[in-house]
Amino acid sequence: MGDEGNRTEKGIAPAPFGADAGTADTLAPAASPSDSQPSASRSLPALDRGRYKIQGEVGRGGLGRILRARDE
């Protein structure tokens, strides 16, 4: 068919764009969750003046944070 030079061997996927043999040695290690999230006591908003007393951070995501609070 004329495109034999562009085909890869059956069962072997081509390497991702930009990947080469030396890339794995130069990548930085992934940050641990404790490195990427500030401590809850430093990063909590000052919302204790109202009805709820903020006790801590439960989690965080792309749209914001989830805080644990007590209704007083």
List pLDDT tens digits, range 37-54.
555 455 566 655 678 888
E strands along 1-72, which residues? 52-61, 64-71
pLDDT bin (cut points 50, 70, 90) of residue 72 is confident
* β-sheet bridge partners, residue 70: 53
Report whether pLDDT(69) > 80: yes
The amino acid that residue 64 corresponds to is G
Give the separation between CA 59 and CA 68, rounded to whole angstroms: 9
Express as a percent the part of the chain with pLDDT over 70. Answer: 32
Report whether pLDDT(57) > 60: yes
Which residues are CB-contacts of 58 (< 8 A; sequence separation ≥ 6)? 66, 67, 68
Is the full-model pTM beyond 0.85?
no
Nearest CA among 59, 69, 5, 56 for reference residue 37: 59
* Higher pLDDT pick, 62 / 2: 62
